[in-house]
Each structure stands twice: as C-alpha cells, then as structure tokens.
Structure 1
Amino acid sequence: MNREQEQQKMEVVGFFGVYQESFKIVQSHTKIFTQITFILILPLLSFIFFIFKQQSNLLFNEILHDSHELTNINNHDTPQYQHLIRKISSKWDTFLFFNLISFTLILIFSILSTTAVVYTVATSIYAAGKETMISFTEVITGIVPKTWKRLMVTFLCAILDFLAYNFLAMLVTWELAKPVRNYFGVAGSIIMVFLYLSGFVYLIMVWKISSVVTLLDGKACGFEAMKKARN
C-alpha cells in the first residue's frame, strides 16, 4: 500500500478505528513504545507529578498553617511574629522553587515524549512496508534537537490561551453567577460548570493536536499551529 492509499485509509477509520489502529501500531513496534513508556512517560506521571505535587501541597498546607498562626498574634514586634514571617517567607521561596523545577521537568518530558510518540507513529504509517524503522535513540539524539524550540513555542502559546480562557471565565462567572443562581438555582450552576469544562477540554484537544502539527509541519508553530489544529 502506497503512502496516498494509507493516508486515505487513516482518514476514514472513525472513532473506534482510531483505537484499533493505535493498538496495531503499538503492537507492531513494541520495543520503541516500551522504551518511550518506561523512560519518558512513567517518569512524567510518577516521579514528577506525584512526588513534586505532594511536596508542593505539603509546603502549601504548612504555609497556610503558619499564616493562620500569624493572624492570631496581635503584637507585630514580638520575636514569635518575626520568626513566623521569616519562616513563611522561606517556605514560599521553597514552594515557588519546587513548582518551577516541576514545571521545567514536565515541559522537558512532555516535549520528549510527544516527539517520540508522534515521530514513531508517523514513520510507522508513512513508512509502512519498509524494513527500516526509526529507533528511540534516533528520536532523542536526532529529531528532538531539531524540533524542541518550535514545540516549546507552541506549548507557551497554549499556556497563554489557557490563561486568557480562565481570565475570561472568571469575568463571565463574576457577572453571571448571581443572576444564574437566583433564577436557575443548582441547574444553572451545573450548566456553567459544564460549559467551562467543555471549553477547557476543547483547549486541551487543540493543544495536543497543535503539538502534532508543530512536529510534522516544518514551518508551523505557536499560534499558527494552534490555528491549524482547530481547523
């Protein structure tokens, strides 16, 4: 089957066909997908997310506890008050440092895992029937250095979109929350939450597809890639 026929086949596989084709691709290239999973995806999910997130939550809870104690001290000139101020300030620095490290590692592993998966799938489809298949080492040493900058630009543009969406959602909620709650009660609140989550999931879909567009399109990145992803 040539490339054009393979592309036409993939365009009409349907919802369940996507999962079927994905399973076939993973099954036919078990080695590289196993390497991607254990070297890139599992560290992203386990070490980075759980360890750093748990530590971050622990620090934040300690900051809240110390801040509560601080509000109970009326005299600001006491040694206890000054000690709590320094303690809270130090914990805030640690909290921000942990989140910065976590964000950086998530960005790095996201770029690596996205690149590895997209190029592996692309080569398995477009190079169907050929004996040669891209290796994990080739992805990390050859493809990632050429694509990480464009992928990071797309990632940062997606972050800006999420920030703008949440800011707009807060403004709308501020204006409509009370009228909706008064006239429609719980049902109105549920509708507002559903609409917000629908938009949030849509943005996630656009971000994921734009990452694929960035990797496979040599020119598009950032908002241009997101525009193509929406289309």
Structure 2
Amino acid sequence: MSDLSGRTTIVVGASRGLGRGIATAFAEAGAPVVAVSRTAAPFDEPANGAGTIESEVVDAGDATVPASLIDRYEPQNIIVVAGATPHMRRLQEQTWETFSVNWETDVRITFQWLREALLKPLRPGSRVVVISSGAALGGSPLSGGYAGAKATQRFITGYAQDEANQAGLGITFTTVLPRFAPLTGVGRPAVRAYAERAGMSVEDFLAKAGPLLTPEIAGATLVDLVREDAAKVVPAYVMNGAGLQKLP
C-alpha cells in the first residue's frame, strides 16, 4: 500500500481548502488523482513529478456523477471532502433553508458516492474516506444543522462498512473528523464567529484551540491513512494539526 502509483484516487471537492491539499498530496505521493469540483481549479504540477492531477468540473451532488466517474476511472481510493459552507448565525437567526444547507449538500453527496462505491463495487482493497467535522462530536451552535449533518456522514460511512463486510467486498470505509482549519473557506468564518461569541480575539481563540490543521497537513495525513494496513484502520478518527487520533 505504500506505493500509490497505480491507485487512482478520486478527491470529491478538490478545488479549495482541505480537498485541494489532499488532492495535491496524493499526486505528490505518486497517485493518479481525479480532482472533482464544481468550478475549475488549476493545479501546479506535482513537486516530484510522480503523480498526476486530472480535473473533472462537475456537480458532485448530481446523482449521475458518482457512477459515471467510478465507471470511467475505476478508482481504488475515493476521498469525499465536498460540502457547503454553513451559514454562521445563531439558531433564531437561521431560516430552514440556511439551517438545512449541509443536509442537502454534504449528506447527499456522501450518500450518493458511498452508494455507488457499494453498487459498482470498488475492487477489493479499495479505500473510501469521508471528511466529516469535529463539530459532529461537540455540536456547533452557530452553524445551523451543520453538526447534525456531519454526524450523519459518520453514520452513513459506518453503514457502508457494514454492508461491505456482509458482502465480503474487501473495501475499507473510514470517517475523518477535522478540527478547526482556519485557512479554509469553512474554517475562517467559523473561527471569527466563535471567537466573537467567546469575547476573544481570533488570535487568542486559535491559541487555545491546540495544533491547527492546514490543507498541507490534512493531505499528508490522509496519504498516511490510505497507506496504512487496512486491518489497523479504525472506523473514525479526529484530525488536527498533530495528525489523527482514533475514536472508539
């Protein structure tokens, strides 16, 4: 598993933030990467020239897209990062439309991609990683239904692992729950909102948050996870700037 050169990796939501860092890291580790995003996002050539990145500008939430891309590229790794930026307001300031946006995007995308990974199915030894959020563990009172949607992503990933086990498919499904990543489009407004709620400066708030996660750290961490022996992989991890911590 240490050699990723023959393992096509689809990164769903690769245009920015953690997804972009993950796509870049897999290419630099030698993998042929398919970077799926709704908007075009040019990538630099991998630093060591080992892997490649091919962009697919599509709507990952379109129900026809997962089957089409899985059939075309026959990936052995799928990393699902795509999702909506939550509306950062207190509960009473939300509308149902803003409250439910992550259910209609993040959960739907996860469901459709994991469904197709099972239906195809992916070849034995394949890995599917769903990027959820640490908010799934402690809640997120300023982001509407975000925390619940992220918890449901974890549930769906666990259900997919159960189905794969029952069918003897040999596919490993894993959920990774990142803590604050202040350099991303989702992280920046969240950090500002929660710092203000706590009556703190952004700098002081981040200083208390522990090791901070960056797209580059997320990419390197996910490469290591996919390289790990499947027998040693647990169903879910928290991820921060120090790497992964296993969840029970």
TM-score by length of 2: 0.30
Larger radius of gyration: 1
TM-score by length of 1: 0.32
Higher fraction of strand: 2
